[in-house]
Amino acid sequence: MSRAQRLSRFLDPFILSILVILGLGILIPVPAVLVDALGYLGNALIVLLFFLYGARLSTKEIWEGLKNWRLQGAVALSTFVLFPLLGIAMHPLDLKLLGPVFALGTLYLTLLPSTVQSSVTFTSIAGGNIAGAVCSATISNIAGIILTPALVFVVMGRASGIEASRVVNVLLQLLLPFVLG
């Protein structure tokens, strides 16, 4: 791929809008009175995003993404085994470089599944299998509802409960709009 092709892929309107919004968010903080409203708006946009991905992808593409056991297995192993092991390995160095609070936060991040939005965005940039990314990231997030608290307990020695409301929220916010689309 030529340099111009890589640049044009990077300058995708979706990617540019993410970068512009990031820059605006850094330069112009949101007033406290708008935080809740923007949270609801963000949730509504996530629902819309999954509905549109569901509408955009054919049923055949979705089934192929779900049946791709190599992809699903690689995502599951990376998310729930490789990244936690890397977090554990890096934790002593993070303690020295970042201090205990940030090191704990960094370790915690290695125990979380990727957001579906970032999985789809990075896959789209790379020209990869978007249907597979949506399916694997959604499955990973649903599995993460149970596996992440378990990993937090095992790795960090801290209790982290599984709340039924969070399970329902993920299913309603991610899976239902995707299926309806």
Judge whether 13 lies within some domain: no
Residue entry with tokens 């968010």:
25
Nearest to 116 by CA among 23, 60, 52: 52
pTM of the entire structure? 0.65
For the segment 21-44, the average pLDDT, to the nearest whole number, is 86
pLDDT value of position 22: 86
In whole angstroms, give the CA distance from residue 105 to residue 157.
14
Judge whether 69 lies within some domain: yes
Judge whether 95 lies within some domain: yes
3-state secondary structure of 13: helix
For residue 90, pLDDT over 90 is answered with yes
* Domain encompassing residue 134: 31-180
For residue 156, pLDDT over 90 is answered with no
- How far CA 13 is from CA of 1, 3, 50, 94, in Å, comes to 20, 18, 18, 36
Q: Count up the domains in the chain and report the number.
A: 1
Judge whether 53 lies within some domain: yes
In whole angstroms, give the CA distance from residue 122 to residue 143.
21
